[in-house]
Amino acid sequence: MTVADVYDALISRRVYKPDMPHQQAVTIIMQGKGLDIADQFQAIARRFADDPQMMQDKLRRLEAALVEETIVLGS
């Protein structure tokens, strides 16, 4: 699971939970440092913590780049 997926899951309303405020989601992501979340994703979360739209955009772009790299390396 990527940070973008985690962030989206945290801020989105689900039938089993309400939506979460952006800052609370960022705090949860930041607490994952050194565990399952890559430092690159955390750097983006820190840099764009006050701009949820920019943070989502940057995380999606990084995720897309990593997927593309995986496809190229796997070929």
Q: What is the pLDDT of residues 5-43, one digit of tens each?
A: 778 888 899 888 889 898 888 887 777 654 455 677 778
Span 49-65, pLDDT tens digits? 889 899 888 888 877 76
pLDDT mean over 58-73: 66
pLDDT for position 1: 58
pTM over 0.85: no
pLDDT for position 34: 43
Identify the residue whose tokens are 């890559």: 38
In Å, how far from its chain's centre is CA 43? Answer: 10
Domain parsing of the chain, residue ranges:
3-74
